[in-house]
Amino acid sequence: MSDTWRILVVEGNKADRATLTEALARQGHDVGAVNSGGDALASYEAADLVVLDLDLPDLDGLEVCREIRAARDTPVITVTSRGSELDCVLALQAGADDYVVKPYGLRELMARLNAVMRRSRRTACADPGAEGAAVLEHGPLRIDSHSREVEMRGRPVPVTRKEFDLLALLASAPGRVISRESIMHQVWGESWSRRTVDTHVSSLRNKLGGPEWIVTVRGVGFKLRSMR
């Protein structure tokens, strides 16, 4: 019942590249594979989704991700052996929609691919927080649900799909605590983990200019700070 996607695998390790390409092809997808950042930048435009290894022989994978994101909204899932919170935050800040830490299982990767593609295709009609006003303004913070753009004091704030969805959800009820479970299910569906939410919150705080914008309510969840 799964759709067929054009997936570009960017993987510097020959064995990993062959294994992943074969596994995705068995799922019925049209898979292309390259082993360098330069080849990725030359061929990603034809892909519906990019699986990007961050450890490439020629270019920094984070820079490749930034280049793709600057030009197109093609979904990108990064694959990394760097499993620290900082490394994951850097990947998200570079524009990745999600990340997988090596070694990973195929089921986990496929769940994340499916979740990212579902969010990508329903973005225009089902944005969290879009049931109310198209533009949410909270002090100097402005969130446009139609264009999916965020501004802080008139300056654009680059966010990924999931960061936008998370921020729009919190901004739909500023000052109200939204439970971690509700955030997980509304933004990530069935593919989520506690660490995923925390990593995205950390990334958003950095992009908004400080930790005070998203308040942690210990044992419950998160809220956008009240301006009162």
**Tens digits of residue pLDDT in 82-140:** 777 788 888 888 888 888 888 888 888 888 888 888 776 655 344 444 444 578 888 89
Q: Which of these three, 72, 100, 122, is where a domain ends?
A: 122
The 10 Å Cβ neighbour count of residue 169 is: 20
The verdict on 76 and 104 lying in the same domain is yes
Q: 42 lies in a domain?
A: yes
Q: Which residue type is seen at 134?
A: A
Contact yes or no for 64/52 (Cβ under 8 A): yes
Mark whether 117 and 17 lie in a shared domain: yes
Let me know whether 78 and 152 are in one domain. no
Determine the pLDDT at residue 62.
92
Last residue of a domain, one of 83, 98, 122: 122
82 and 174 part of one domain:
no
> Cβ contacts of residue 128 below 8 Å, gap of 6+?
165, 166, 168, 169, 172, 186, 187
| Number of domains into which the chain is organized | 2
Q: Are residues 142 and 91 in the same domain?
A: no
Closest CA relative to residue 72, chosen from 97, 89, 90: 97
In a domain, 56, yes or no: yes
Let me know whether 112 and 206 are in one domain. Answer: no
Question: Which pLDDT score, from 0 to 100, does residue 227 have?
Answer: 67
In a domain, 129, yes or no: no
Same-domain check for residues 92 and 58:
yes
pLDDT, tens digit (0-9, with 9 covering 90-100), for 136-192: 888 899 999 888 899 999 999 998 888 898 999 899 888 888 888 888 877 876 555
In a shared domain, residues 71 and 116: yes
Amino acid 87: pLDDT: 82
51 within domain boundaries: yes
Q: Is residue 64 located within the same domain as residue 108?
A: yes
In the three-class reduction of DSSP (H, G, I as helix; E, B as strand; rest coil), residue 80 is classed as strand
Full domain range(s) for residue 81? 6-122
Confidence of residue 35 (pLDDT cuts 50, 70, 90): very high
The residue out of 77, 92, 122 marking a domain boundary is: 122
3-state SS class at 4: coil
Q: Is residue 1 part of a domain?
A: no
Does 116 lie in the same domain as 10? yes
